[in-house]
Amino acid sequence: MPFKLTIELSERDLRHFRRELRRAHEAVSIADDEEILAAAADLVTTLRAAELPDFIGERLVKLEILQAMLSDADWPLAKDERNPVLAALAYVCDPEDIIPDEVPGIGLLDDAVMIELVLRDLRHTIESYADFCAYRKVLPRRLPGRRDPATVAHMLEQRREQLMERMRRRQAAEKR
């Protein structure tokens, strides 16, 4: 029988997690993007092989989306858009974060909370990326007879620009 546990994070709690994320963000500025992405890939592989609580497994899929977004050559993000994602990945990859990862049962709880906070903060970026991936997937079917690489690349570029403009417009509106 499932057991539902709801935790409400107060503004004070959120400030605490955001401070930790800022610390990870500062660490990102001295780390190499590829090192962080490689560490995240290693972590995903390790966690996939482990027997995880469901609350972690569900967030692992979301972590993979963040990782894919940063690794996708067709979705180049500006440095200020990449850094929050890199900071989240760096935080999750750090075994000595708020709750050390080796604490049985709850060691990854803070990582799950951090992933949810980052997903909330980056929802417009993630939505735009998901729309881009869906478009890229169906594009070959939409181009019967015109599948030359230049046409495909041009159409992908146009769609990416539209989606990134939408993403930035929504982010700006949210900050007002």
- The helix, strand and coil proportions of the chain, stated in percent and rounded to the nearest 5, come to 75, 0, 25
Specify the DSSP class assigned to residue 103.
Answer: S
What whole-number percentage of the chain has pLDDT above 70? 96
What whole-number percentage of the chain has pLDDT above 90? 26
Q: CB neighbours (10 Å) of residue 73?
A: 5
Predicted pLDDT at 61: 86
Quote the CA–CA distance of 33 and 98 in Å, as a whole number.
Answer: 23
Whether residue 74 has pLDDT greater than 90? yes
Contact present, 36 and 86 (Cβ < 8 Å): yes
pLDDT band of 146, cuts 50, 70, 90: low
Q: How far, CA to CA in Å, does 166 sit from each of 105, 161, 172? A: 40, 9, 10
Contact present, 24 and 88 (Cβ < 8 Å): yes
Quote the CA–CA distance of 125 and 166 in Å, as a whole number.
Answer: 9
Lowest mean pLDDT among 22-36, 81-95, 147-161: 22-36
Predicted pLDDT at 125: 93
Q: What is the mean pLDDT of residues 135-144?
A: 80
Whether residue 155 has pLDDT greater than 70? yes
Quote the CA–CA distance of 97 and 81 in Å, as a whole number.
Answer: 23
Whether residue 45 has pLDDT greater than 70? yes
Whether residue 144 has pLDDT greater than 70? no
Q: What's the chain's average pLDDT?
A: 85
Which structure tokens are listed for 85? 């994602």
Q: What is the mean pLDDT of residues 115-130?
A: 90
Quote the CA–CA distance of 118 and 114 in Å, as a whole number.
Answer: 6
Which structure tokens are listed for 51? 């027997």
Contact present, 139 and 156 (Cβ < 8 Å): yes
Backbone angles phi, psi at 124, to 5 degrees: -70, -40
Which structure tokens are listed for 164? 């990134």
